[in-house]
Amino acid sequence: MEDVPALIAEETSAALSRCERSPGGAALAGLGAVHARWWRFGEAAAAYGSAVAWLRGSARGAAGLGWGRALTEACRPFEALAVYRLFPGVVGVEVGTAWALLRAHRPHEAIQAVARVGTSEALTALGSALAAVGRFDDAVAAHRAAVGSVAHVAFGESLLRMQRYAAAEQEFRTAARIAEVECDFHTAASAFSGVARVLADIGDLPAALDHHNRAISHFHVLGDRRAEARARHALGLSLSATDPARAVDAHRTAITALLDLADHTTAAVASLSLAHTLAARQELPEARAAAVRSSGLYAESGDRDGEARAHAYVARLAETAGDLGAAESALRTALELWRELGDPDSEAAGWRALARVVSRAGRVTEAAEADRIAARVVDER
């Protein structure tokens, strides 16, 4: 690990020198590959994009695939989808498309993209997409058919989503063992972060913090700022119940980095977590500001379900502060989103919350109507 920063500098310098000596598609694609290998995805996307204009045949297809992957990892999934459409038939495009669709919050389309592709990489993406839509049995089957440390990390993430903690920990630890043997420090760090979240959820905070710190340290040395920020956010979640002051600091540090990297999705998640932690500390104005910020970030990222949840929490904080007008406005926005998403359980809960808010405002007739709508939504599920 200690040698990694020097290795990154050496490889990047050599790739840039090749471009200067012999400018052209091959050298640019090589530069893109170096940047991508060391998690400089913005730079990788720029190099691959330039390479595509020079190359022909299979070399052009390979550069296009690298371009799409780099754009996805640079939190630009819609641009990645546009690139992939330029390279139909290139091996790996379906998998890249699936991951871009997942980043764009379109898991159903991601499933369709790789449903008939049997590679390990495709099965890993398929399992993650199936878990995202709640098809957990199918997700487990897909994940179990995939191999490799990255596949084990993805399986662990899906199991964690299912709250199958023992199985998730096993997958993360398996991934860490494989990655360490292969000197794949990045995947090992991802596995450490996964283990940390499992341990925090089952109540072993000291061990969780040790794994969080290992993950953050690895990502920091490797220079992957986005992964480090995500790991700091995970640390904040683990600290929220026992050390809220440190949790707030971890979330804020993560949010600053994520916004700088244009990762609005994870910044939205971290902002909502920050709002919950601040509210628990009775810092309600700050909590409300964080929740409002979260709703805007979710909207920018295209995550409508997250946006709805953020608006609902804004409403809860506004109601607690006695700002019933703001609470009603936030709830009506959340209701529109839940109705569009076809989420009757959340919609019914939203109508009940709206009934309570307008009742407190003295509008008894409207409150009764909101309660009736909630009951109807439940009945029509």
Q: Is the pLDDT of residue 3 over 90?
A: no
At residue 235, the pLDDT reads 98
Question: When comparing pLDDT for 230 and 23, which is higher?
Answer: 230
pLDDT at 206: 96
Q: Return mean pLDDT, the chain.
A: 96
186, 94, 102, 154: CA torsion to nearest 10: -40
Rounded to an integer, the average pLDDT of 374-379 is: 94
* Average pLDDT for 38-47: 96
49 has a pLDDT exceeding 90: yes
| Mean pLDDT score, 127-141 | 97
Instruction: Give the span between the Cα atoms of 154 and 344, in whole angstroms.
Output: 29
pLDDT of 299 reads 97
Helix (H) or strand (E) run with residue 313 in it: helix 304-320
Q: Is the Cβ–Cβ distance between 348 and 374 less than 8 Å?
A: yes
Q: Residue 162 has what pLDDT?
A: 95
Is the per-residue pLDDT at 381 higher than 80? Answer: no
Amino acid, single-letter form, for residue 76:
R
Say whether pLDDT at 38 is over 80. Answer: yes
CA distances from 341 to 135, 162, 188, 264, 305 (A): 17, 21, 36, 21, 7
**In this predicted structure, what is the pLDDT of residue 8?**
92
Q: Is the pLDDT of residue 1 over 80?
A: no
Among the listed residues 154, 202, 203, 160, the one whose alpha carbon sits nearest the alpha carbon of residue 174: 154
Q: What digits encode the pLDDT tens for the residues 202-259?
A: 999 999 999 999 999 999 999 999 999 999 999 999 999 999 999 999 999 999 999 9
Report d(CA 192, CA 224) in Å as an integer.
15
Average pLDDT over residues 332-347: 96
Q: Give the residue-averaged pLDDT of 157-177.
A: 97
- Output the pLDDT for position 13: 96
Residue 256 tokens read as 């600053």
| Per-residue pLDDT at 185 | 94
Interval 124-148 mean pLDDT? 97
The span from the CA of 201 to the CA of 105, in Å, is: 25
pLDDT by residue (tens digit) across 267-312? 999 999 999 999 999 999 999 999 999 999 999 999 999 999 999 9
Question: Averaged over 57-75, what is the pLDDT?
Answer: 97
